[in-house]
Amino acid sequence: MQARRASRELTLILFSQLDKNLEKYKNEDFSSIILKSVRTLISTSSDEISMCVSKLNEIKNQIIEFENNHPDNLSRPIDCENIPVALPLTSDLEAKIDVLLNASEKTMSALDIAELCTLSSQEDVRSYILKICSDYQKNKTEIDKIISEFAFGWDIERLFKIDKDILRIAITELVFIKDAPHKVVIDEALELAKKYSTDDSPSFINGILAKVVEKYV
């Protein structure tokens, strides 16, 4: 994961923790919230993996019990090892396979979070997060007006907060920071939308950002 990508994702997580009174925050507050957010990510990831491990152990024990109680093994002498038996392909087993798939997804997510948390301690990542926050804080009214201008038929207060925050970060970079290629900023905004928002969000965000680039950049 690149430093700027990590900065954008961590800024999105940070924005989710802020209230509407943005003016009251200082850089020290932003840094504290980043740290708390990272700790929350680690804790949540750890809890999810622990739950998956528990479920996997439960599946293992059920399989062992099934094998032990299978007629082919019950009829064998007590001092003989079990022989492998066929597992029934039932909806119950399908549910257990789903648990395995979910565990794999959680593990991959945990690896991503671990990398994100590691990058959060790098000075270039933290400084760019603070740059986005500071520039958005200074230009919040204008940025939200830009969103309202191109969000046809939508009241900005009724937009999904995650979508508003993704747009706010991208517009801050495109219109005010201006040191990253337009395509990179938009592409990474779309990736955040795919990861954190609804199926319709990427196309909605892409449409607005395209108009922002055309008029303001």
Every domain of the chain and the residues it spans: 3-216
Give the model confidence (pLDDT) of 90-107 as tens digits.
Answer: 777 777 777 777 777 766
CA distance 162 to 166: 6
For the chain, how big is the Rg over CA atoms in Å?
24
The pLDDT of residue 132 is above 70: yes
Identify the pLDDT of residue 177. Answer: 95
| CA distances to 62, 71, 73, 157, 172 from 78, in Å | 20, 13, 9, 70, 72
Q: Find the mean pLDDT for residues 139-167.
A: 85
CA dihedral (207, 210, 214, 215) in degrees, to 10, reads 60
Secondary structure of 149-164 as H, E, C letters: HHCCCCCHHHCCHHHH
The rounded distance, in Å, linking the Cα atoms of 199 and 202 is 7
Q: CB–CB of 30/120 below 8 Å?
A: no
Other CB atoms within a 10 A radius of the CB of residue 83 amount to: 10
Top pLDDT among 61 and 93 is at 61
pLDDT tops 90 at residue 139? yes
**170-190: average pLDDT:** 95
Distance CA 37, CA 56 (A): 29
- Exposed/middle/buried for residue 23 (C-beta within 10 Å: 0-12, 13-18, 19+): exposed
**171-175 average pLDDT score:** 96
Average pLDDT over the chain, rounded to an integer: 83
Under CATH, what is the fold of the domain 3-216? N-utilizing Substance Protein B Homolog; Chain A (1.10.940)
Structure-token pair, residue 167: 């747009």
Asked whether the predicted pLDDT for residue 111 surpasses 70, the reply is no
Q: Closest Cα partner for 205 from 6, 2, 7, 12?
A: 12
Q: What is the pLDDT of residues 30-43, one digit of tens each?
A: 777 777 777 777 77
| Residue 154: per-residue pLDDT | 65
Label residue 79 by pLDDT band (50, 70, 90): confident
pLDDT tens, residue by residue, 13-31: 888 877 666 667 676 777 7
How far is it, in rounded angstroms, from Cα 170 to Cα 194? Answer: 15
| Helix (H/G/I), strand (E/B), else coil: 78 | coil
pTM above 0.75, yes or no: no
